[in-house]
Amino acid sequence: MPCANLMFTCAGLKDPAALATTATLPHSQLFTPIERVILTANGNLQRILSAYYDEAITVTVLRTELKAGSTFTREVVLGRQSHTNGEILLCHILGEVLFKRFLTFSLFFFDG
């Protein structure tokens, strides 16, 4: 599967189409519509999947590791409950989190 290098454009406030946003995904024909939605989500993936499946979506943190300074590597899985199959894995995500303010960093690191 190709890497998802995304480009977002948003029309300016003086533009008549100011509420329009375009997400460009290279090789978009290789993905299903829901895969394109998932790849272009920006911080609201749990809510989007919950709306799509009309069910609660669980987020399980597998690991959070301090890399350097205030940068963390975080690995999570998103899933949903099935009455017949138990938990169904929807996404396995590995990402980096960079904190720019020490207060936020210390609350995240020390309070979980």
pLDDT at 80: 92
Collect all residues with Cβ–Cβ distance below 8 Å to 59 and sequence separation of at least 6. 46, 76, 77, 78
CA dihedral 48, 111, 102, 64 (to 10 degrees): -60
State the CB neighbour count (10 A cutoff) for residue 56: 11
Catalogue all structural domains in the chain, each as residue range(s) with its CATH number: 1-40 (no CATH), 56-112 (2.30.18)
Of the listed ranges 41-50, 74-83, 98-107, the least confidently predicted one is: 98-107
Q: Coil, helix or strand for 32?
A: coil
Q: How confident is the model at residue 47, as a pLDDT?
A: 92
Tell me: the pLDDT tens digits for 17-62?
556 666 677 787 888 888 888 877 877 889 999 998 888 999 999 9
Give the global pTM: 0.60
